[in-house]
Amino acid sequence: MTSVGDIFSPRPLEGRVALIAGGSSGINLGIAQRFASAGAKVVILSRDEERITAAARTITDAGHVAYGRAADVRNFEAVASVFKEASERFGLIDVVVSGAAGNFHAPAASLSANGFKTVVDIDLIGNFNVLRASFPFLRTPGASLMSITAPGGTHPSVFQVHANSAKAGINMTVKCLAMEWGPAGIRVNAISPGPISGTTGMAKLAASPEREQQIKARLPLREYGSIRDIADTALFLASDNAKYITGAIIDCDGGSGLGDASADALLKATQR
């Protein structure tokens, strides 16, 4: 029988191996750091060798086990070689996070075909490459895979046809792989973050205090989330506490996906 102590263990990933793609900054680095503090041996993968080395150092300087390797998620062979090296060094992989992404605002009428392809290649093709490359190196049963998606995967928005198309593809990839790989004991899920403080995306979206307040006023919880909120969600999905969850797109968004919860919107909703 599982005890309360087991459920709330401070190191639920003790002895496990985790690989995080796109882990040199932001949410993905926060997940890597959280996994390491929970006992995992961590491998982080990103394109820029200098940044990935610095990111890994934030983990090893804290007394945990980690190293980084530079690879472009658009290159399947390069990604597969990182998984092979990681498994040779640490053993079979228990947890994989696919979070590499690229984005920019662009009206569809002026978006180039190459711009659309670039985002799809990084977000969608890169996500498939990471998950598919992991398959031969996973510890089964029990492996947990997760992708970082976005609300745009289910909610259309202007100036984001490229990114939203890619995220919708990620969501369906997660569900298909959950069905195909479930019999092998592999869980596949995704996390969809809402407005998260300390990220490049929110810095661009809310470039002024006034704009920040406007965004927060629309949120049911009236506040941005933190990188730690996403990291804790990832930790839950990686742990045995989520062993019966697969094929799920987990919204960690402060209710932003529910719609406009500003005072004006609520007032209008109650008027007859």
Calculate the average pLDDT of the chain: 92
In angstroms, rounded to a whole number, what is the distance separating the alpha carbons of residues 22 and 115?
20
Residue 245 pLDDT: 98
Per-residue pLDDT, 64:
98
What are 128-156's pLDDT values in tens digits?
A: 999 999 999 999 999 999 999 999 999 99
Residue 43 has pLDDT above 50, yes or no: yes
* Contact of 143 with 241, CB cutoff 8 Å: no
- The two tokens of residue 219 are 């949120």
Length reported for the chain: 272
What is the mean pLDDT of the segment spanning 97-105?
Answer: 92
Confidence band for 1, pLDDT divided at 50, 70 and 90: very low
CATH number of 9-201+225-260: 3.40.50.720
Query: What pLDDT, on a 0 to 100 scale, did the predictor assign at position 28?
Result: 96
Of the candidates 17, 173, 6, 156, which has an alpha carbon nearest to the alpha carbon of residue 91?
17
Taking the model in full, what pTM does it have? 0.92
Question: What residue spans define the domains of the chain?
Answer: 9-201+225-260
